[in-house]
């Protein structure tokens, strides 16, 4: 059963929250992060992408980057930009995007639950990305960004959250540059804090929606602290890591589309013939990009035209939670055997375009310097949970969650 507990969050001063909040560290490169933080000394990017404060000659993963992150976090606290709450509480974080609402509880979860698979995973991690966040968390002595978790909805938790929102004013309420509204409450009623922990204790699993590297890094820093403090009793903050925990019904997974640099030696005609072996292929007579509306159906943009391609019977196992994923069907029946993409995780000939960018972005990439693009039907929350429960992993770039959690609205210190 899941251990979920309150914590003494470090949060921005109310009037500075919009200045502090930033996109998560991994959705931009160094140059973009520097541009985003330009003219804003209160941007939390100075902590999660602290290389922006250093000369370009300093590498992204140099120790000085992480020392700077710690110095900047300490300075934010010393200057009163961020302050720590005096008692362990929960927080409620709501996001509004295009009329959709998702509302989660900000809390701490157990590193032992991660190790023992109470917190379920569905992706592999890359060592280099893990090491980067390990260093950021370790030097800052804090979980500087949350993990994005989900669970099968619970009516009592929903009622507690909705009642609190109904009768209490938010601490923050602002709309960021990308038109996403962020609303934040402190849930500090001790009886409700206790009750929420009890309810989660009856929930069998939590699932990582987004943040596999952050969760793995948080756990490894926690284990490092256990080695440093061998007399720990399990109550210390380093035994827990920060997450925003959403009911599954709130979450929205967008399509995660593919573009490929070349046709692997095929010309247009021979490529279409090869595709037709495992897919029904029909040219689409429309001016707008083709968006798949059902499973096992894809859009393909080639030489200025869109095609609908549908996987033929027998090309995948509908009973296998991984094999029936559209990303698996495309990889197994087209990307690998025809285009030669053996490992999409490492092959430089393939790139991935999140659905938030729109299908016109696929056309632009192909019209510029790529050869072919594929629009995908989104992976579902049921897919994610079924795969995690089966102990399997998804192919890379299977899910694109929107909206992204803003960083800097809450920090969890590993030493109380």
Q: What is the mean pLDDT of each run of 10 residues along the chain (416 residues)?
A: 97 98 93 96 98 96 98 98 97 96 98 97 88 98 98 97 98 95 97 98 96 96 98 97 97 95 98 98 91 97 97 96 96 98 92 93 96 97 94 90 95 94
Per-residue model confidence (pLDDT) at position 141: 98
Same domain, 180 and 221: yes
**Which tokens belong to 395?**
């192919």
Give domain status of residue 396, yes or no: no
Per-residue model confidence (pLDDT) at position 292: 97
DSSP state of 330: H
Helix (H) or strand (E) holding 257: strand 256-260
Give domain status of residue 388, yes or no: no
Same domain, 244 and 126: yes
Distance CA 242, CA 131 (A): 18
CB atoms within 10 A of CB 284: 15
Structural domain boundaries enclosing 368: 256-377
Give domain status of residue 389, yes or no: no
Distance CA 334, CA 344 (A): 12
Same domain, 309 and 222: no
HSE at residue 388, side-chain half, CA atoms within 13 A, is 26
HSE at residue 347, side-chain half, CA atoms within 13 A, is 21
CA 178 to chain centre: 17
Same domain, 199 and 336: no
Per-residue model confidence (pLDDT) at position 416: 75
- φ, ψ of residue 315 in degrees (nearest 5): -90, -5
Per-residue model confidence (pLDDT) at position 124: 86
* 335-389 residue pLDDT tens: 999 999 999 988 999 999 999 899 999 999 999 999 999 999 999 999 999 999 9
* 158-214 residue pLDDT tens: 999 999 999 999 999 999 999 999 999 999 999 999 999 999 999 999 999 999 999
Domain count, the chain: 2
Give domain status of residue 366, yes or no: yes
Q: CA–CA distance from 22 to each of 96, 199, 281 (Å)?
A: 16, 32, 43
Pairing of the two strands 256-260 and 372-375: antiparallel
The CATH number for 353's domain is 3.30.1760
Distance CA 31, CA 29 (A): 6
Same domain, 290 and 236: no
Give domain status of residue 387, yes or no: no
In this structure, which long-range contacts are made by residues 199-204, counting pairs with CB atoms below 8 Å and at least 24 apart in sequence?
Answer: 199/154, 199/156, 199/157, 200/1, 200/2, 200/3, 200/4, 200/151, 200/157, 201/1, 201/2, 201/3, 201/4, 202/1, 203/1, 203/2, 203/151, 203/152, 203/154, 204/1, 204/2, 204/118
Same domain, 109 and 64: yes
Same domain, 185 and 323: no
Distance CA 202, CA 292 (A): 39
CB 77 within 8 A of CB 70: no
Q: Where are the alpha helices (DSSP H) in 86-211?
A: 111-115, 127-140, 155-167, 190-200
- φ, ψ of residue 25 in degrees (nearest 5): -60, -30
Same domain, 72 and 177: yes
Same domain, 153 and 20: yes
Give domain status of residue 394, yes or no: no
Q: Where are the alpha helices (DSSP H) in 276-411?
A: 326-330, 360-368, 381-389
Distance CA 72, CA 53 (A): 10
CB 279 within 8 A of CB 311: yes
Same domain, 119 and 202: yes
Per-residue model confidence (pLDDT) at position 381: 94
Per-residue model confidence (pLDDT) at position 126: 82
Give domain status of residue 149, yes or no: yes
Distance CA 330, CA 279 (A): 10
Same domain, 123 and 232: yes
Give domain status of residue 273, yes or no: yes
Distance CA 415, CA 393 (A): 33
Same domain, 154 and 271: no
Distance CA 416, CA 404 (A): 28
CB 8 within 8 A of CB 188: no
């Amino acid at each position: 059963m899941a251990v979920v507990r309150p914590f003494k969050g470090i949060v921005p001063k109310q009037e500075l929250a919009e200045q502090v909040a930033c996109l998560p560290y991994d959705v931009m490169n160094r140059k973009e992060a520097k541009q985003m933080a330009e003219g804003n000394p209160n941007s939390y990017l100075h902590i999660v992408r602290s290389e922006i404060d250093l000369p370009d000659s300093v590498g992204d993963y140099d120790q000085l980057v992480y020392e700077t992150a710690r110095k900047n976090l300490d300075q934010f606290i010393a200057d009163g930009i961020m302050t720590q709450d005096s008692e362990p509480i929960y927080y409620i974080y709501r996001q509004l995007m295009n009329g959709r609402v998702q509302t989660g509880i900000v809390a701490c979860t157990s590193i032992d639950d991660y190790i023992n698979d109470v917190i379920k995973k569905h992706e592999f991690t890359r060592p280099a990305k893990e090491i980067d966040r390990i260093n950021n968390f370790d030097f800052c002595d804090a979980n500087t960004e949350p993990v994005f978790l989900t669970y099968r909805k619970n009516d009592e938790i929903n009622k507690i959250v909705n009642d609190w929102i109904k009768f209490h004013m938010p601490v923050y309420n602002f709309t960021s540059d990308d038109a996403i509204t962020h609303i934040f409450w402190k849930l500090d009623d001790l009886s409700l804090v206790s009750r929420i922990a009890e309810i989660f204790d009856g929930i069998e699993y939590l699932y990582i929606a987004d943040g596999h590297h952050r969760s793995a890094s948080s756990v490894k820093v926690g284990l490092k602290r256990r080695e440093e403090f061998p007399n720990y009793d399990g109550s210390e903050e380093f035994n827990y890591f920060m997450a925003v925990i959403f009911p599954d019904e709130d979450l929205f997974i967008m399509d995660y589309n593919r573009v490929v640099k070349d046709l692997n030696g095929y010309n247009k005609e021979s490529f279409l013939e090869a595709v037709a072996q495992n897919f029904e292929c029909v040219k689409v007579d429309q001016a707008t990009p083709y968006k798949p509306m059902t499973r096992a159906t894809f859009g393909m943009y080639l030489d200025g035209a869109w095609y609908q391609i549908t996987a033929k019977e027998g090309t995948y196992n509908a009973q296998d939670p991984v094999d029936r994923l559209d990303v698996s069907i495309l990889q197994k029946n087209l990307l690998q055997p025809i285009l030669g993409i053996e490992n999409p995780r490492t092959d430089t000939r393939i790139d991935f375009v999140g659905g938030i960018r729109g299908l016109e972005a696929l056309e632009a990439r192909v019209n510029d310097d790529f050869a072919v693009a594929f629009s995908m039907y989104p992976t579902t929350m049921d897919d994610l949970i079924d795969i995690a429960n089966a102990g399997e992993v998804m192919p890379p770039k299977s899910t694109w969650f929107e909206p992204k959690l803003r960083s800097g609205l809450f920090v969890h210190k590993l030493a109380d």
